[in-house]
Structure 1
């Protein structure tokens, strides 16, 4: 099965304010976007498993014109808190790279 890094040409993560994180998956074309954007693998359960986020607070936004999916989730700790390890969330996307997608 293909992995996220094999079907996306760019993947990033960033702050969406002090209480939210956003993951952006830019698929490498419309075919892979149509094939994988709605994959149940990229759902709230995955975000809960990888990031400890409450699955009820995971939001998924398809952006077909950009062949992109945006996934936002509530942080488990506020930005800049005592246990912060990645204040700007710039490295959080790495956990997605080897996730296998189904069709």
Structure 2
């Protein structure tokens, strides 16, 4: 049986800078069913995000917006934007680990 990922349930999964020191990930889910999966705190929570992105769990902010079927996640960038060790200046590729998360069977 093929696995379903968050990207397949979403209209769009993206990441971007939220200033030079923060990254924001956004899950724009296609419908309320997809939103329920993405917003499920037992599936997607601070611990999971910390593991995916190697950041401190207590620094992660998750915003669940049911009226828009959107989940937003913000956390401090590992290095500031444009610094010598910055490998993704616009944080445009940070969404990939989140998009590839396999959704549990219902």
TM-score, scaled relative to structure 1: 0.88
Listed as ranges, the gaps of 5+ residues in structure 2 are none
- Cα distance in 2, alignment partners of residues 50 and 76 from structure 1: 13
Matched, 1:59 2:49: no
TM-score, scaled relative to structure 2: 0.86
Structure 1 segments of 4+ aligned residues over 6 angstroms from their partners: none
Matched, 1:49 2:24: no
Alpha-carbon deviation of 1:26? Answer: 0.7
Alignment of 1:22-41 (within 5 A): 22-41=24-43
Alignment check: 8 A CA contact 2:37 2:103 kept: no
Q: Secondary structure at the match of 1:5?
A: helix
Listed as ranges, the gaps of 5+ residues in structure 1 are none
For 1:5, the equivalent position in structure 2 comes to 7
Q: Secondary structure at the match of 2:58?
A: helix
Alignment check: 8 A CA contact 1:7 1:28 kept: yes
- Cα distance in 1, alignment partners of residues 92 and 15 from structure 2: 5
- Cα distance in 2, alignment partners of residues 36 and 57 from structure 1: 20
Alignment of 1:81-96 (within 5 A): 81-96=83-98
For 2:81, the equivalent position in structure 1 comes to 79
| Number of aligned positions between the proteins | 103
